[in-house]
Amino acid sequence: MQCIRKQPSRTKSQELLYQEQTKATALMNGKLLGMEGDSDLQFLLTGGDLLKVRSSSWKKTRFYKLQEDCRTMWHESHKKLKSKQTCECYNRPPASFSIDDIEAVRVGRQSEGLQKYTEDQVENRCFSIIFKGRRKNLDLIASSEEEAKQWVTALEKIISNTRNLNRQQKTEHWIFNCMRKADKNSDSKMSLKELKHFLHQVNIEVDDDYAEMLFEKCDHSKSDYLEGAEIEKFYKMLTEREEIDVIYGQYATTGGQMSSTDLLNFLLKEQRESASLDDALKLIEKYEVDETAKAKQHMTKDGFLMYLHQPEGMIFNPAHKEVYQDMSQPLNHYFISSSHNTYLMEDQLKGPSSTEAYIRALMKSCRCVELDCWDGSEGEPVIYHGYTLTSKILFKDVIKAIKEYAFKTSEYPVILSLENHCSVEQQKLMAQHMTSILGSRRFLIKGKRLNKLDTIYSAEGTIDDDSVSEDDEAADAEEDEAKKPKQTRTFITMWTSSAESTLRAPEQTPPTTTPFPCGTLATPSKEMDVNQGRFLPNGMSGYILKPAYLRDGASEFDPITLTKGDWLQHKVFHVMVISAQQLPKLKKKTKSIVDPLVRVEIYGVPADTTEKETQNISNNGFNPMWNEQFQFEVYVPELAMVRFVVEDYDSTSHNDLIGQYTLPFTSLQNGYRHVPLLTKNGDVISSAGLFVHIMVLDAE
């Protein structure tokens, strides 16, 4: 959450001046977002009343508006103060959220809260703001359908524009607003004291002598304040990238700039790309910011930095962002992005179950979700973690959510993994709901394989009535099927007869068991990072084609012994961790500066799994520099994953995660590359990143 600075009492003239400054700030931020003069932005800056819904009895009007930083939504709050629950900048509870914190805006009564606590007639006036992480949805009702549409349109536009900023633009926007916040008296000037506050705010701790030296270098007017061009000079000094200067200087051999030939040399020698002069010219045309240099087919240092922040300069191979693999193979030839206990938002013993958990999993391209089905008390099957205190959700509500969100991020089939504990009567309802709601979409139903399938067509036929969970399948593998209790069961009959034509597996192969990551899809962990990184390539379709030796039934591949075979492709992996930029402060340590270190981890077959880490840099999260080199041996690159981890070093306790990024070894790009950083929940950290040099060579 963001804090809204307490405004001091002002005279009329001071208030008019303040309002003009606020408008100017909003105008500048709108321009930085590419929304200068935009009517939707103006609508958000003006704000308005909305009905906030928490329960059937708690529905209250609140005023919402976008702050002049164009990234913070403020809303009035009547929350009572609790001990230590106040904003640092003034004595009141936090009452705002960042645009960066919003995952999505959903139109209508799509959230569980709105479906449960509102009536059908307000459908067109409702919308929900869905937050990243585990923060609760914000359910709202506008005064009219037109107003609801305007709120949704405006919010979606500013979210989209914010996300589409390149790294350099995000940095400019962020630093501009940090400077504004450091300007305590809102006079558009920066005193030495305010400069020190600003440096602390952007995660740099410097001694007084260094701060004074910076200040004196920029204070050309000797007025003891920085303003206008002096602030611009300070900004340029602060954002100077020494490492980029060195690299650029090595190849800018044409009048101090990179010609297209210079750039081609860089692409061939450093980036190890199969590039042509035409490729270099396209990069200049696409990313050069100086029109004069562009006309000469030159790239300036600013254009070079712009290129390095774009997909072509990132560590992940942009050719892997689209579906590039053969998608016509049998289903069991693919790794499939899968979720265990999908319905859980938090704790597996007493946490809430929610349709939102299914939506979030599907929006992350998960292609196999689990439904733990039990008899409901009111005749409708429910989903929850059996024999625990987790809350229950209706099976039909989950199926509706799955239908709505199954194919928004991937067009490839979704597998519904049923753990079925229901009676025959409620199994019939399950089949009816799936048939009527899902229709002719690309769904596969995965359950336990049944012996004597033909007996289900007989009124007296009997089959096993066991749970179909993955755990139970493993436990039952060696048991004698004939000794288990029997009872009549009709669910499979109902499903086969009514829905086989539209929801069956491809004829060449039946659905196969898919491996689950540890815990629910929403559980932040190293294992989840690796799992999500595995499915980053191939258009984030949720399907990754297995290496040929894992598709061959006669393969002798053994990850432990690693006998000779096609899987052995010994590589030497060189990594130089150069620097990081704009690392965030940790929320629980907002008053302290981070001491970052970087760890490079390899996951794969046992011979490849290892890690190495840098030294920590004290009191600098803004532009720490390591320049440390590591070398790894990778024997089975097709199964290897690379994880970059940035932590805040602590000598007395466990280090805290700042950010991480995980990708397949085979999706690495060589050369000088920026690495984006994600939060523990998998969300991109705006502006932050690593800068590394990668070189993958065949071992001799």
Query: What would the pLDDT profile of 236-278 be if each residue is shown by its tens digit?
Result: 888 889 999 999 999 999 999 999 999 999 999 999 999 999 9
Q: By C-alpha distance, which of 435, 339, 422 is closest to 380?
A: 422
pLDDT at residue number 229: 86
What is the percentage of the chain residues whose pLDDT exceeds 70? Answer: 83
**Euclidean distance between the first and final Cα of the chain, in Å?**
53
Q: Is the pLDDT of residue 637 over 90?
A: yes
Q: By C-alpha distance, which of 309, 358, 366 is closest to 543?
A: 366
pLDDT at residue number 485: 37
pLDDT at residue number 133: 78
Lowest mean pLDDT among 94-98, 133-137, 164-168, 399-403: 94-98
The most confident of the ranges 274-283, 391-400, 494-503 is 274-283
Q: Is the pLDDT of residue 88 over 60?
A: no
126 forms bridges with which residues in the sheet? 141
- 297, 279 contact by CB (below 8 A): no
Name the phi and psi angles at 254, rounded to 5: -115, 90
Lowest mean pLDDT among 181-195, 217-231, 335-349, 373-387: 335-349
Question: Mean pLDDT over residues 573-596, rounded?
Answer: 88
> What is the distance between the alpha carbons of residues 400 and 387, in angstroms, rounded to a whole number?
25
Kindly report the CA angle at 356 between 316 and 587, in degrees rounded to 5?
60
Q: Which two tokens stand for residue 134?
A: 């585990």
H helix intervals, 49-190: 112-117, 145-163, 167-182
pLDDT at residue number 498: 34
Q: By C-alpha distance, which of 629, 611, 635, 626 is closest to 575?
A: 629
pLDDT at residue number 357: 87
> What is the distance between the alpha carbons of residues 681 and 671, in angstroms, rounded to a whole number?
29
pLDDT at residue number 616: 97
Q: Residues near 569 by Cβ (< 8 Å), separated by ≥ 6?
A: 635, 636, 637, 638
pLDDT band at residue 446 under the 50/70/90 scheme: confident
> pLDDT digits over 648-688, tens only?
999 888 999 999 999 999 999 999 999 999 999 888 988 89
Question: Mean pLDDT over residues 435-447, rounded?
Answer: 89
- What domains does the chain contain, in order, with CATH numbers? 12-164 (2.30.29.30), 168-239 (1.10.238.10), 242-313 (1.10.238.10), 331-499 (3.20.20.190), 562-698 (2.60.40.150)
Max CA pair span of the chain: 98
Q: By C-alpha distance, which of 444, 371, 370, 447 is closest to 414?
A: 444
**Which phi-psi region, left, alpha or beta, contains residue 387 (left: φ > 0; alpha: ψ -120 to 50)?**
left
In the residue annotation, 173 being an active-site residue is answered as no
Residue 229 amino acid letter:
A
> What is the distance between the alpha carbons of residues 697 and 700, in angstroms, rounded to a whole number?
9
* Count of CA atoms in the C-beta half-sphere (13 A) of 657: 17
335-to-164, 409, 523 alpha-carbon distances in Å: 30, 17, 20
Lowest mean pLDDT among 85-89, 282-286, 559-563, 592-596: 85-89
Q: By C-alpha distance, which of 225, 195, 184, 183 is closest to 8?
A: 184
pLDDT at residue number 425: 92
pLDDT band at residue 123 under the 50/70/90 scheme: very high
Residue 45 amino acid letter:
L
pLDDT band at residue 414 under the 50/70/90 scheme: very high
pLDDT at residue number 505: 35
> pLDDT digits over 514-556, tens only?
644 444 455 678 998 999 999 999 999 999 999 999 999 899 9
CA 269 to chain CA mean position, Å:
33
Mean of the per-residue pLDDT values of the chain: 84
DSSP string, 635-690: S-GGG-EEEEEEEE--SSSPPEEEEEEEEEGGGB--EEEEEEEE-TTS-EEEEEEE
In the residue annotation, 340 being an active-site residue is answered as yes
> What is the distance between the alpha carbons of residues 531 and 607, in angstroms, rounded to a whole number?
19
What count of residues does the chain have? 700
Model confidence, pTM: 0.83
Lowest mean pLDDT among 55-59, 89-93, 582-586: 89-93
Instruction: Choose, from 309, 340, 421, 433, the residue flagged as catalytic.
Output: 340
pLDDT at residue number 21: 78
Query: Greater confidence, 77 or 398?
Result: 398
Kindly report the CA angle at 202 between 200 and 205, in degrees rounded to 5?
35
Question: Mean pLDDT over residues 459-488, rounded?
Answer: 40
Q: Is the pLDDT of residue 463 over 90?
A: no
Residue 130: its H or E element: strand 126-131
pLDDT at residue number 86: 39
Q: Which two tokens stand for residue 103?
A: 């995952």
Query: Greater confidence, 579 or 29?
Result: 579
Q: Is the pLDDT of residue 322 over 60?
A: yes
For 16-35, letters b (16+ CB in 10 Å) and e give eeeeebeeebbbbbbebbeb
Instruction: Choose, from 385, 433, 674, 693, the residue flagged as catalytic.
Output: 385
Three-state secondary structure call for residue 629: strand
